[in-house]
Chains A and B, each alone.
Chain A
Amino acid sequence: DSGVTQTPKHLITATGQRVTLRCSPRSGDLSVYWYQQSLDQGLQFLIQYYNGEERAKGNILERFSAQQFPDLHSELNLSSLELGDSALYFCASSVAGQNTGELFFGEGSRLTVL
């Protein structure tokens, strides 16, 4: 158990809909990262937050947004969903904001868009 909690574990929805994925980092970790894993794109970095502020942005679509709240949990919002958004979405956390150490991953949220 990594200590990172993601909900929901599975989600099935229709095209055009909006979903919210939630992540609770390990106790004490200030950084939260979101990754998307699909068969054709592999693991893609989406966005990082550190202590409530956006720290780095990767291949995140404009239809997607995220935030980190004062209690350090984070939410990833996916809107106007398309079939191609079907993927595993992972949250990871780390203590620091710099690239000095390992990331702790949650078990992921599997999104299926029909």
Chain B
Amino acid sequence: GAGVSQSPRYKVAKRGQDVALRCDPISGHVSLFWYQQALGQGPEFLTYFQNEAQLDKSGLPSDRFFAERPEGSVSTLKIQRTQQEDSAVYLCASSSGPFSGANVLTFGAGSRLTVL
């Protein structure tokens, strides 16, 4: 597609529910990132995929967070047993090649998760 598409744009979950957030990167983009952005803060790195391989998941805050990209295109971020502190905007970004310092990331509009 023309840009990075994320769905749903807004999600309200009750504490303890599982949620799944979808990212559709730009077609052919090798690298895919997930970031978490709390209100009034900058994005914080969660995880990175190069094609279908999850090369870095050091930013995932707990084992309740899980991400996959099974065919090297669409990615899903799953959060199990949601907690109030999970409330944030979840951003997906992609870039055309393997990540290097000079690569430009294209971001989606984000999925805003509110946990009640």
A binds B: no
Chain A residues near B (Cβ < 8 Å): none
